[in-house]
Amino acid sequence: MSLTLATDVLVIGGGLAGTWAAIAAAREGAEVVLADKGYCGTSGVTATAGPGHWWVPPEAREAAVADRLTRSLGLGDPDWMRRILDLTWISLPTLRGYYDFSTDDQGQPFYRGLRGPEYMRAMRKLALDQGVRILDHHPALELLRHGDGSIAGAAGLALRGERPWTIRAGAVVLATGGCAFASRLLGSATNTGDGLLMGVEAGADLSGMEFSNYYTPAMAGTNMARSMAYSFARWFDADDRELDIPPGPDVTPNLARALLLGPLYCRLDRVPEDIRRVMPQVQPNFVLPFARWGVDAYRDRFEVTLHPEGTVRGIGGLRVVDEACQTQVPGLFAVGDAASRELVTGAISGGGAVNSSWALSSGQWAGAGAARLARGQGARAEDLAVATGRAGLRPHRAARPVDVRAAVQTVRDELNAYDLNIFRRGPALVRSAERLDDVWTDLAAHARGEGRASLRAREAAALVAAGRWSKASALARRESRGMHRREDAPGLDPRFASRQRAAGLDRVWTAFEPVAAQAEVA
């Protein structure tokens, strides 16, 4: 038996941004349903992390904005930066009573860094106390759209019993997280680009997808990627010769070059004592692999690798067009890592702190905006709604078995390899794009699953689609800016000093925004 509901606001995704969105919508008086692919409170990357926040006192904010704006390399917006600094400052203290904040050396609550598992448990409880209805293990598969193009809700699958569900809503908030390109990064199992595909199918577009090649160092053989301690690292080759790799924006390509030559090792003996003391609290999962393997992280040398994080700590995502984080599709909002973060990070990663503050802020702006929109337009649950999902659900040719695992492996091959994704060259980008296009053609033409197989087919389609948008955007940006590096086009080119949109399904397109259009977003 299928589940059919109607609500004011539907939030898809139960991570940090999704829970903040649901809470904000409920506080506006809206009826809210939150549908999570996993279990809200444990799924997503925040639940495995020790997220910091861009927590800056009022008197220091202009300096923080100026510094971030300089490093954004022409793609950031100072007004959006100020907005998230303001909202982060007033929002975190409201969690007292739900979250047990640590204290600093002066005995004051330490709001900047939180313990991810406890943070997400607190967000789930707060959402429930606000009256949000949470549907765990209810992945969304597609969006529904009215005849006028506005969003009508979504449809998906309840994993228990493999029952289909349909939820009509006055507004939908996509909080599905970033796309980790199947890299097996800890906490990213649900980050398969679903929201990006659903959004584009419904008529939205993306921005910043060329900035999808963020990598994090980690102990080899683990999927733990918490990078704070590595800013103090010393690096060594297999013969224990120390390598000249200073910290800074060029550390990732230098580490990747070393790894392409052979094993890479690390010592963290320079991590200050005060950071060592707080590490079990601020990044509790960081210390676990070392303890399990009997390694003294701050004394012993250990082998390391680089884990690709895709758009999770990259930048790209759905483009927002107003201050409530609405996309160009009326009634469809995008938040957290599902949205482009160029406005607040520019061409460089938002890391943990800015990204967490963006999730907190964009979630609240979108939740409140979605609630106001839904209540203002009245009930439309009986209006005609059209399903927008295609690849993996409704093939445009005869359905037949498609090797979904092979499709996902192709994404891993093309989007995770250092020599293809960190060190980019035009001919290699073209070959990657052609390989991904072939996989997409097969999925779109023939893939159709039933029950859980439909979820796997949709995840594969979303991963391939996100990979195609990333490769096309990287090919079109013929320069090196921020984390996007073209070996065949080193250096900044003023002709590309603008944000780049991307979309398209069977045929991908990209377009740079005029500088004037960028200014209008603010």
Summarize pLDDT for 328-357 with one digit per residue, the tens.
Answer: 999 999 999 999 999 999 999 998 899 999
Q: Is residue 359 part of a domain?
A: yes
Q: Is residue 429 part of a domain?
A: no
Instruction: Write the DSSP assignment of 179-222 as a string of letters.
Output: B-TT---TT-TT-BSHHHHHHHHHT--EE-TT---EEEEEETT-
Residue 49 in this model has a pLDDT that exceeds 90: no
Q: By C-alpha distance, which of 219, 280, 252, 267 is closest to 50? A: 280
pLDDT in the model for residue 515: 59
CB-based contact 225:191 (threshold 8 Å): no
Mark out the alpha helices in 321-385 (DSSP H runs).
342-345, 353-377
The CATH number that applies at residue 228 is: 3.90.700
Q: Are residues 49 and 75 in the same domain?
A: yes
Which of 285, 308, 331 delimits the end of a domain? 308
Number of domains in the chain: 2
Q: Are residues 158 and 248 in the same domain?
A: no
Angle 174-179-184 from CA coordinates, rounded to 5°: 130
Angle 301-306-310 from CA coordinates, rounded to 5°: 155
User: In the numeric block, which tokens belong to residue 389?
Assistant: 């999902």
pLDDT in tens, 93-149: 999 999 999 888 888 899 998 989 999 999 999 999 999 999 999 999 999 999 999
Q: Residue 515, class by beta-carbon neighbours within 10 Å (0-12 exposed, 13-18 middle, 19+ buried)?
A: exposed
Q: Is residue 444 part of a domain?
A: no
Q: Are residues 8 and 129 in the same domain?
A: yes
Which of 359, 387, 415 delimits the end of a domain? 387
d(CA 455, CA 141) in angstroms, rounded, equals: 7
Q: What are the phi and psi torsion angles at 78 (to 5°)?
A: -65, -30
pTM of the prediction? 0.95
Q: By C-alpha distance, which of 52, 61, 109, 110 is closest to 84? A: 61
Cβ-based neighbour number of residue 164 at 10 Å: 15
Q: Are residues 20 and 79 in the same domain?
A: yes
pLDDT in the model for residue 20: 98
The residue written with tokens 């600093």 in the block is 104
Q: By C-alpha distance, which of 242, 292, 238, 249 is closest to 267? A: 242
Mean pLDDT of the chain: 94
Q: Are residues 363 and 240 in the same domain?
A: no
Q: Are residues 200 and 254 in the same domain?
A: no
Q: By C-alpha distance, which of 133, 86, 88, 75 is closest to 114? A: 88
Q: Is residue 481 part of a domain?
A: no
The CATH number that applies at residue 25 is: 3.50.50.60
Q: Is residue 274 part of a domain?
A: yes
pLDDT in tens, 198-214: 999 999 999 999 999 99
Q: Are residues 242 and 351 in the same domain?
A: no
Q: Are residues 267 and 279 in the same domain?
A: yes
Q: Are residues 304 and 363 in the same domain?
A: no
Residue 522 in this model has a pLDDT that exceeds 50: no
d(CA 115, CA 100) in angstroms, rounded, equals: 10
Q: By C-alpha distance, which of 54, 4, 19 is closest to 353? A: 54
d(CA 28, CA 20) in angstroms, rounded, equals: 13
Q: Is residue 482 part of a domain?
A: no
Q: Are residues 207 and 340 in the same domain?
A: yes
Q: Is residue 399 part of a domain?
A: no
User: In the numeric block, which tokens belong to residue 315?
Assistant: 């930048």
Q: By C-alpha distance, which of 214, 213, 256, 216 is closest to 473? A: 213
User: In the numeric block, which tokens belong to residue 282?
Assistant: 């601020």
Q: Is residue 103 part of a domain?
A: no
Which of 387, 420, 443 delimits the end of a domain? 387
Q: Are residues 191 and 76 in the same domain?
A: yes
Cβ-based neighbour number of residue 250 at 10 Å: 11
Q: Are residues 70 and 201 in the same domain?
A: yes
Contacts of 253 (CB under 8 A, 6+ apart): 422, 423, 485
User: In the numeric block, which tokens belong to residue 445?
Assistant: 């033409």
pLDDT in the model for residue 518: 55
pLDDT in tens, 226-277: 677 898 999 999 999 999 998 887 899 999 999 999 999 999 999 999 888 8
Strands of the 500-503 sheet, one edge to the other = 317-318, 206-207, 500-503, 509-512
Sign of the torsion angle spanned by Cα atoms 11, 15, 20, 23 = positive
Q: By C-alpha distance, which of 323, 315, 307 is closest to 350? A: 315
Residue 126 Cα to chain centre, angstroms: 23
pLDDT in tens, 445-503: 999 999 999 999 999 999 999 999 999 999 999 999 999 999 999 999 999 999 999 99
Q: What domain range is 167 assigned to?
A: 3-89+116-212+311-387
pLDDT in tens, 279-294: 877 777 788 888 888 9
